[in-house]
Amino acid sequence: MSAEDLEKYETEMELNLYREYRDVVGIFKYVVETDRRFYLCNQVDVKARTEAGDVFFEVTMTDAWVWDMYRPARRLAKNVKVLTFKDVNVEELSHSEIEPPKV
């Protein structure tokens, strides 16, 4: 596979992912970002935990659409629990403001 073929494949995958995101974003209330994954969900709870002097975050989500850059397929999950030592960003979506550009 040439570098050009690989770039074309990656571009196609990004476009397919964007289209899927565009199709589902309107049914979710929150966007949650971690260092590896991106989630859309309808309920989210973030708790800071301490163990042996280390601080980590426990993130619990319900009705989540999971976008993992290291997996070829996105998926829907009823319940998701994430433990991470890295930053977690949670944003509440305002559907009146959401209008992804048409591709």
Q: Assess if residue 67 is contained within a domain.
A: yes
Give the H or E element holding residue 50. strand 43-51
Percentage of the residues of the chain whose pLDDT score is greater than 70: 85
C-alpha dist (Å) from residue 81 to 15, 55, 57: 28, 17, 10
Q: Is 40 exposed, middle or buried (0-12, 13-18, 19+ CB in 10 A)?
A: buried
Within-domain flag for 102: no
What's the pTM? 0.74
Q: Which domain holds residue 51?
A: 3-92
pLDDT tens per residue, range 78-93: 999 999 999 999 999 9
The structural domain count of the chain equals 1
| Residue at 101 is within a domain | no
* Residue 103: pLDDT over 80: no
**Residue at 48 is within a domain:** yes
Q: What is the pLDDT of residues 29-61, one digit of tens each?
A: 999 998 888 899 999 999 999 989 999 999 999
